[in-house]
């Protein structure tokens, strides 16, 4: 039995004394203990070594006591398993030396046996669960098929993902085949993660906001819906679409347990767009963690008051930045833990 199940209760929409709190990218680059590991091992070695991935996952829980841990990994382990080379270049980010730009390249992409190709992730889950010792739930995650396609076609990060969009709009048949292969792999991967012991899963649609509402339905949402349909009876599914406020109404009817909201959408609008009956997660601007701790605490209290304490998970509106002072991250977590409802 979990000693702290606040996160799972919030996902179910139960009444709580305060909302649960965790931070996207909490296992990582702002923590000195993570930086020590980073000095010794390159990025994908950290992802692919269960001992390292599990240690990195529990570091923020030890330091701050969030209400949920999220497994240290990367969304690009999926294309790696699909026979697509992915490198992580220091001070550059993801780099794919052979981006997919033709039907032939799509034909060469495999739907792997995740139990073999991504076994290291499952081992990391087992080790992490042991280290957590039932203290808090563990979240597993994957990128949305569209977001994965963006990297596979563009070959690197981008402000516009123009090549990815060109591929979808000029070779839609090949694009949809690639999206379906990514979707099938992602479903198998997330199901394996649940079987290995994660308590909930989150789908990150980091680049969904690059698409128009119409194109979002065609090239992103219908594939995320497949993932929700396949997983929702096995574990709660959280969907976070950055810049996708326009899709919140459809997302709310999808069977997802919760929806992530970025900082460009107010709590009031998010509740309005989703009909007020689904758990929301977010949406503190990560850069606001650079404000003084006293100010952070006031803003967090205001954020919770605006969302309401029930059907709500306090989080950032995107991943924590590397330059956030430790005491500021602590102020964010503590403000949620100390929250008292206004009478």
Q: Compute φ and ψ for 261, nearest 5 degrees.
A: -130, 135
State how far the alpha carbon of 267 is from the alpha carbons of 6, 255, 261, 302, 314, in Å: 21, 21, 8, 10, 11
Q: Specify whether 233 is catalytic.
A: no
Q: Is residue 208 annotated as involved in ligand binding?
A: no
Tell me which of 18, 64, 67, 74 is the catalytic residue: 74
Q: Is residue 95 annotated as involved in ligand binding?
A: no
> Where in 87-127 does DSSP place strands (E)?
87-89, 93-95
Burial classification of residue 242, based on how many CB atoms lie within 10 Å of its CB (0-12 exposed, 13-18 middle, 19 or more buried): buried
Cβ–Cβ under 8 Å, residues 194 and 236: no
Q: Is residue 63 annotated as involved in ligand binding?
A: no
Tell me which of 30, 151, 189, 312 is the catalytic residue: 151
Q: Is residue 206 annotated as involved in ligand binding?
A: yes
The residues near 15 (Cβ < 8 Å, ≥ 6 apart) are 310
Q: Is residue 74 annotated as involved in ligand binding?
A: yes
Q: Is residue 220 annotated as involved in ligand binding?
A: no
Residue 75 Cα to chain centre, angstroms = 9
Q: Specify whether 288 is catalytic.
A: no
Q: Is residue 69 annotated as involved in ligand binding?
A: no
Q: Specify whether 25 is catalytic.
A: yes
Measured CA to CA, the distance from residue 268 to residue 280 in angstroms comes to: 11
Q: Which residue has the tokens 């997660």?
A: 281
Q: Is residue 272 annotated as involved in ligand binding?
A: no
Q: Specify whether 271 is catalytic.
A: no
Q: Is residue 44 annotated as involved in ligand binding?
A: yes
Which DSSP helix (H) or strand (E) runs through 143?
A: strand 138-143
The residues near 114 (Cβ < 8 Å, ≥ 6 apart) are 81, 185, 188, 189, 192
Tell me which of 9, 38, 63, 120 is the catalytic residue: 38
Measured CA to CA, the distance from residue 238 to residue 130 in angstroms comes to: 24
Q: Specify whether 74 is catalytic.
A: yes
Instruction: Based on DSSP, count helices (H) and strands (E) in the chain, helices before strands.
Output: 17, 9
Tell me which of 9, 25, 119, 250 is the catalytic residue: 25
Measured CA to CA, the distance from residue 27 to residue 142 in angstroms comes to: 15
| Active-site residue set | 25, 29, 38, 74, 151
Name the binding residues for substrate. 25-29, 44, 74, 151, 206, 318
Name the binding residues. 25-29, 44, 74, 151, 206, 318
């Amino acid at each position: 039995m979990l000693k702290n199940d606040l996160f799972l209760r919030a996902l179910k929409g139960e009444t709580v004394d305060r909302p649960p709190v965790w931070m996207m990218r909490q296992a990582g680059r702002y923590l000195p203990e993570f930086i020590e590991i980073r000095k010794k091992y390159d990025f994908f070695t950290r992802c692919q070594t269960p001992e390292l991935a599990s240690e990195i996952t529990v570091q923020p829980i030890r330091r701050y006591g969030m209400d949920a841990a999220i497994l240290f990994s990367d969304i690009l382990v999926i294309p790696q398993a699909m026979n697509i080379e992915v490198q992580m270049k220091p001070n550059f980010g993801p780099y794919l030396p052979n981006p997919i730009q033709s039907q032939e390249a799509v034909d060469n992409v495999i739907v792997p046996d995740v139990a073999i190709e991504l076994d290291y992730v499952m081992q990391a889950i087992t080790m992490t669960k042991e280290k957590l010792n039932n203290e808090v739930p563990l979240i597993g995650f994957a990128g949305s098929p569209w977001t994965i396609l963006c990297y596979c076609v563009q070959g690197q990060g981008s402000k516009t993902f123009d090549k990815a969009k060109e591929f979808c709009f000029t070779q839609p048949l090949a694009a949809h085949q690639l999206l379906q292969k990514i979707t099938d792999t992602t479903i198998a991967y997330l199901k394996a993660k649940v079987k290995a012991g994660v308590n909930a899963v989150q789908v990150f649609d980091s680049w969904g906001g690059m698409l128009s509402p119409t194109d979002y339905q065609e090239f992103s949402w219908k594939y995320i819906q497949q993932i929700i349909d396949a997983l929702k009876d096995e574990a709660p599914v959280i969907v976070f679409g950055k810049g996708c406020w326009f899709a919140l109404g459809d997302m709310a009817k999808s069977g997802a347990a919760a929806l992530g909201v970025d900082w460009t959408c107010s709590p009031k609008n998010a509740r309005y767009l989703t009909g007020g009956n689904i758990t929301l997660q977010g949406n503190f601007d990560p850069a606001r963690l650079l404000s003084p701790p006293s100010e952070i605490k006031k803003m967090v209290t205001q954020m919770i008051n605006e969302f309401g304490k029930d059907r709500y998970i306090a989080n950032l509106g995107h991943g924590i930045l590397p330059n956030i002072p430790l005491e500021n991250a602590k102020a964010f977590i503590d403000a949620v833990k100390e929250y008292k409802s206004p009478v």
